[in-house]
Amino acid sequence: MFAAAVGLSGLVATPAGAAPAQIACATGEYENVDHQCVSGPERSETPPAGATAQCGDGTYSHSKNHRGTCSRHGGVARWLA
């Protein structure tokens, strides 16, 4: 029975909700949860154009979603207006 089930495993289709392949973002960018390329956190004396949050390590994030913003950078210290 087990052997028969294993033999049929190749017939299983990829689920319709499967994640799309990763996109290639430019250097200094990352792919966000919406599969868009966004500038990675950067250091600056003042908030750079387009920054949405200041991270705990002093970098500024350009994240378009709150979830995961400043992860690996000490969390969000403050959100920018």
Domain locations in the chain as residue ranges: 43-81
Q: Mind listing the pLDDT tens digit for each residue in 48-70?
A: 999 999 999 999 999 998 999 99
pLDDT above 90 as % of the chain: 58
pLDDT at 23: 77
pTM of the entire structure? Answer: 0.67
Of the candidates 16, 64, 22, 56, the one whose C-alpha atom is nearest the C-alpha of residue 40 is 64
